[in-house]
Amino acid sequence: MAAISEKALSRLSELYHSHLSWSPAKEEGQKVLLSYFGEIVQNRIDYLLRLTEDVIIDNGGKRKVMKRVCSVLIECLQNTSIHGTKDDRSSSNSFFILQGNDKEFTIVNGNLILAEDANLLAFKLDELRGLSHTELRKLYIETLCNQNYSYKGGAGLGFLTIAKKSSKPIEYSILPLDNKFAFFTTEITVARV
């Protein structure tokens, strides 16, 4: 566990607020439907999922679209909870923002990661961004059958599931904070159809 400085948490909060005020999705007429900044633990994931379901239905989303958005959100929040940087008290802070317009919903998710993990993460995401939906489905099935689990318990299906369910390639950024940490954000779009 790494000691996360107040400066790092403050910068994460600044990043969250900058996403609330501007993002490429907002340029496409999307409005913020739901946002959260804080620690991601299982009971909060459950609560945020229930809120997301209600918000999507209240904003005219179909049930199958709501399920797709919630599936993406579960993966985002679990990735953050499991793989995000934790402090010496085993807590981590992150954020997510749900935006929507009449064509799509967008989930923006951000958290701190260890700087040493940044290159591998970028490599994996770039690899997924280069695959078609057919190739993503094939890789998903191969990964399920492979059953190689990481030391954190996952088989690498999180981002693969997200890429499969999104209507556009996963947008991401990794901004170095210092030699220990980087800010990691993703933007995932799910069409309303």
Q: Each residue of 113-123: pLDDT tens digit?
A: 889 999 999 99
Per the model's pLDDT, the better-predicted residue between 5 and 67 turns out to be: 67
Q: H or E element: which one contains 152?
A: none
Q: Tell me the pLDDT band of 16, cut-offs 50, 70 and 90.
A: confident
Q: Output the 3-class SS for 29-72.
A: CCEEEEEEEEECCHHHHHHHHHHHHHHHHHCCCCHHHHHHHHHH
Which CATH architecture is the domain 6-191 placed in? Answer: 2-Layer Sandwich (3.30)
Give the single-character DSSP code of 88.
T
- Position 191 scores a pLDDT of 95
Give the Å distances, CA to CA, from 188 to 5, 50, 144, 168.
29, 19, 22, 7
Q: Tell me the pLDDT band of 134, cut-offs 50, 70 and 90.
A: very high
- Position 155 scores a pLDDT of 47
Which of 13-22, 64-73, 124-133, 153-162 is predicted least confidently?
Answer: 153-162
Task: Quickly count: other Cβ atoms within 10 Å of residue 72's Cβ.
Answer: 25
Q: Residue 70 and residue 158: Cα distance in Å, rounded?
A: 13
pTM of the predicted structure, to 2 decimals? 0.85
Per the model's pLDDT, the better-predicted residue between 100 and 154 turns out to be: 100
Report H helices in the chain: 6-21, 24-27, 42-58, 63-83, 118-129, 133-146, 158-165
Which of 41-45, 59-63, 150-154, 188-192 is predicted least confidently?
Answer: 150-154
Mean pLDDT of the chain: 85
Q: Residue 49 and residue 32: Cα distance in Å, rounded?
A: 16
Q: Residue 56 and residue 172: Cα distance in Å, rounded?
A: 23
Q: Tell me the pLDDT band of 19, cut-offs 50, 70 and 90.
A: confident
What are the φ and ψ backbone dihedral angles of 104, each rounded to 5 degrees?
A: -160, 165
Residue 185 near residue 110 (C-beta atoms within 8 A): yes
Q: Each residue of 151-160: pLDDT tens digit?
A: 454 546 889 9
Task: Sketch the domain layout of the chain as residue ranges.
Answer: 6-191
User: Which two three-digit tokens encode residue 85?
Assistant: 């940087």
